[in-house]
Structure 1
Amino acid sequence: MTALPASTGRKKLRAFSWTRIMAVMVKETIQMRRDRLTFAMIIGVPILQLVLFGYAINTDPKRLPTAVIVADNGPAGRAIVTGMQLSDYFEVDPQATGEAAAREKLARGDINYIVTIPVDFQRKLVRGERPQLLVEADATDPAATANALGQLDEIVGKALAVQTTGSLAFLAPGTLPVDVVVHRLYNPEGITAYNIVPGLLGTILTMTTILMTALALTREVERGTIENLMAMPARPYEIMIGKIVPYIGFGFVQVAVILLAAAVLFAVPMKGPMWLLLAVTLLFISANVTLGYTFSTIARNQMQAMQMTFFFFLPSILLSGFMFPFRGMPDWAQVLGQGLPLTHYLRVVRGVMLKGGGLPEVANNIWPLFVFWGVVAGIALLRYRRTLD
């Protein structure tokens, strides 16, 4: 039998063809159009970044809540308070009038400053004795309070300019007629690591636990083992618990590594109870892995699960107060940030580690985590039931 030439039955292709390239391009375009989640990411991520960075992010926060304790209600004290309000950097909280109430609000993070006008402030000013104006600042986030503190001398100077006339004209020239004493509480040296490292605990857990869990069910679908799960004599919530508990343990391994590094490498203090931090961390990880499980019931493949995780992680890291001051954002962005679990967890971590806060001080940031967890768990169970059907 005579052997056929190797080229027999196969048409020799030209070295280059625009027709073939166009055919592949059309095929890829159709595939992208059918993958709606990927197409939405292509359009949605740039829009989300433009909106957040263009409108929501502000590194110069203003209208920061401030408690004013007035022990001397003289003209000079009133002028200083008025000047602070007119500066747009400070917003006086009318409910924090007493020292105990003000310190409680400062510990909870409801206010950023306590300004105290001491007894005999007006009389000492008239005598030229440079009375002290005490300003206590929450320095757990140095970037959030630095700009306002930097403007404080100028604000006080302008406020007292009207008062230093007539018989007090000798106080106007030269130095400031009062001594502005600033106490940076909880982080007196303004060490950035004290703010960043506790924040990394929340951001790392958010990224890894959601992503790992989101890939869990989609991996079962891609490998064809989802039928085995469906055939198991187990209820949907039992399967969900069995899926997410190992990832909760994985999250606590990360917690141990980060807390050890925070103590050994960065000397971040742990002033509050460790049990409280771990209990809230358990709640936070549980909410995240449940959200990841919810994503896995929606996504059709692992790529979509990763895309959904990134789409949630981006606003979380930008609107939670980790990278930029929370109160520097507009009101609508703060409302969105309040709906993110990372926002409340960061406040708990910094409140426990840096402020030494207990359960009463952080309780207002714990119940939102419970609400978020309940909502995503309900969605996950509902989605999984539909998958079974």
Structure 2
Amino acid sequence: MSTVDHPAPAREIRERFGFLRRSYAMLIKEFIQLRRDRVSFAMIVMLPVMQLMLFGYAINTTPHHLPSAVLLQEDSDLTRSILKALENTAYFRFIYEVHDVDDFDNLLKSGKVLFGVEIPRGFERAVRRGDKPALLVAADATDPVAASSAIGSLGMVVQTALKHDLYIGNPPEMPFEIRAHARYNPAAASSLNIVPGLVGTILTMTMLIFTALSVTREVERGTMESLLSMPIKPVEVMFGKIIPYVLVGFVQAFLIISIGVGLFGVPVLGNLFLLALLSTLFITTNLSIGYTISTVVQNQLQAMQMSMMFFLPSILLSGFMFPFAGMPAWAQYVGEALPLTHYLRIVRAIMLKGASMQNLQFDALALAALMLIAMTIAVTRFRRTLD
């Protein structure tokens, strides 16, 4: 009465082998598609390598050899010893020597230096008479991380500077004092540094993605074919794509600055019209780069990947997360080629320092040059016919 049904187990075995064959076929298909998608394959390899290189070699949370200036109103052996002692701390690197207070202030406002040392007239004579004069060290504290370590090292400067000039051994009382003045952010509030930086960071990310996806979306949907059949020039297409997002960028910048002022107490000391003008330049530069990306990629996934590939070094090498002056020379050269680097200097200088266009000429010209380069590449690469 017992019968054995063999067909059922056989079907199960066939189903299992069929499942494995189909899964294997899909696996091979995905590897072939990944090999053909060279942009995605490059992103898979380059992103971890880039992060490893940047975090391993370029990022430094305790920066040294920070650019500094000296307002030298007296040149003597003692003053030279003091400057040498400051450099020996490894935090200061004197690249400017000025003799006018206005030049001294302009260097700090423009961001060319992070520290300024003022040695008053008659300083050495006052020291030898025992008057205990004060030496002023002005620090650009818009970036508290970069300034704090250097300010903390000033205590050892007095002993080092006077070891061979006035005495041997430890004196009962120091013959002069160093007064550190943290300008623009005396309370070292991190919000005063982060909120202006967020304006540029968010604009970079959104403007790149919006423009890059806008063009590639039309290519994927087939609407670009109709657009190319019209009597319209590449530069006209580019401006038509860019101008609406300039207004979007304005709205984003207005929201971030308004929230920063209202909730975090970030001041706006400079000219709002100048801030709006240079923000327009920055937005247009990023939109031009996003448009250039769209002429290189073939689909929206690649556009997103390349946008992130550009955004990653921008946020790491611009000075937003880590002190720019503490990076090695090669990383600073790369950072100077990024629009966000120049805009961070602009927005922080206008909002926190009250800087004028005279103080920001270099960064404004750098943004304009990057915009023209990106526009030229974008128009040159614009496809008049679909592949």
Would you call these one fold, judging by a TM-score over 0.5? yes
Q: Given the superposition, is the C-alpha separation of residues 94 and 278 from structure 1 closer, same or farther in structure 2, using an over 3 Å criterion? A: closer
Task: Measure the CA separation in 2 of the matches of 1:233 and 1:388.
Answer: 15
Using the TM superposition, name which of 327-336 and 234-243 deviates more: 234-243
SS of residue in 2 equivalent to 1:263: helix
Q: Distance in 2 between matches of 1:234 and 1:122?
A: 73
2-structure distance, mates of 1:321, 1:88: 20
Q: Indicate the residue corresponding to 1:69 in structure 2.
A: 71
Pick from 360, 366, 371: which aligns with 2:369? 371
Aligned AA for 1:111?
V
C-alpha separation in 2, matches of 1:280 and 1:72: 39
Alpha-carbon spacing, 1:94–1:284, altered in 2? closer, same or farther (3 Å): closer
* Cα root mean square deviation, aligned: 2.0
Query: Tell me, what secondary structure is at the counterpart of 1:364?
Result: helix
8 Å CA contact 2:324–2:332 kept in 1: the answer is yes
Q: Are the structure 2 counterparts of residues 387 and 128 from structure 1 closer, same or farther at C-alpha, using a change threshold of 3 Å?
A: farther
Aligned residues: 376
Deviation string 1:115-146 (CA, Å, 9 cap, x unpaired) is 12223433333344432111111111111111
The answer to whether the Cα contact below 8 Å between 1:270 and 1:353 also exists between their aligned partners in 2 is yes
| Contact 2:67-2:325 within 8 A present in 1 as well | no
Whole-angstrom CA distance in 2 between matches of 1:257 and 1:114? 35
Could you say what secondary structure the match of 1:91 adopts?
strand
Which structure 2 residues correspond to residues 299-318 of structure 1 after superposition, within 5 A?
Answer: 299-318=297-316
Q: Which amino acid aligns with 1:14?
A: E
Three-state SS of the structure 1 residue aligned to 2:264 is coil
Q: Secondary structure at the match of 2:265?
A: coil
CA contact (8 A) 1:297 1:384 kept: yes
Once residues 374 and 74 of structure 1 are traced to their aligned partners in structure 2, the CA distance between those partners, rounded to angstroms, is 49
TM-score norm. by structure 2 comes to: 0.92
Q: CA deviation at 1:21?
A: 2.9
Q: Is the 8 A contact 2:72 2:97 kept in 1?
A: no
Structure 1 CA distance for aligned equivalents of residues 149 and 44 of structure 2: 37
Contact 1:351 1:357 in 2 (8 A): yes
Q: Is the 2:228–2:384 contact (alpha carbons within 8 Å) kept by the matching residues of 1?
A: no
Match of 2:201 among 200, 203, 214: 203
Give matches, 1:124-273, under 5 Å: 124-165=126-167, 172-173=170-171, 176-273=174-271
Aligned to 1:34: 36
CA drift at 1:388? 5.6
AA in 2 matched with 1:331? A
Letter in 2 for 1:382: T
Cα distance change, pair 237–388 in 1 and its aligned pair in 2 (3 A): farther
State the Cα distance separating 1:94 from its structure 2 match: 4.2
- Cα distance in 2 for partners of 1:175, 1:303 equals 68
- The 2-side partners of 1:325 and 1:355 are apart by 18
1:98 and 2:112 correspond? no
Q: Distance in 1 between matches of 2:173 and 2:187?
A: 26
Deviation at 1:331, TM superposition (A): 0.8
Q: What secondary structure sits across from 1:14 in the alignment?
A: helix
Local SS of the residue matching 1:151: helix
Contact 1:84 1:156 in 2 (8 A): no
Q: Which residue of 1 aligns with 2:15?
A: 14
Aligned to 1:80: 82
- Structure 1 residues 332-389: Cα deviation after superposition (integer angstroms, max 9, x where no partner): 1111111111111111101111111111111111111111111111111122145468
Q: Distance in 1 between matches of 2:382 and 2:165?
A: 70
Mark the CA change 1:71 to 1:383 in structure 2 (over 3 Å): closer, same or farther: closer
CA distance, structure 1, for counterparts of residue 261 and residue 307 of structure 2? 30
Match of 1:4 in 2: none
Change (3 A) 1:372 1:94: closer
Where 1:372 maps in the other structure, the secondary structure is: helix
Aligned-residue offset at 1:102: 2.0
**Structure 1 position 53 matched with structure 2 position 55:** yes
Q: Say if 1:227 and 1:76 are closer, same or farther in 2 by CA, change over 3 A.
A: same
1-side partners of 2:80 and 2:317: how far apart?
36
How far apart are the structure 2 equivalents of 1:310 and 1:387?
28
1:69 to partner: Cα distance: 2.4
CA deviations 1:265-288 (Å, max 9, x no partner) are 111111111000000111111111
Task: State the TM-score, normalizing by the size of structure 1.
Answer: 0.91
Aligned equivalent of 1:381: 379
Which consecutive residues of structure 1, in runs of 5 or more, have no partner in the other structure?
A: 1-10
Conserved 8 A contact 1:67-1:97: no
Amino acid at match of 2:67: P
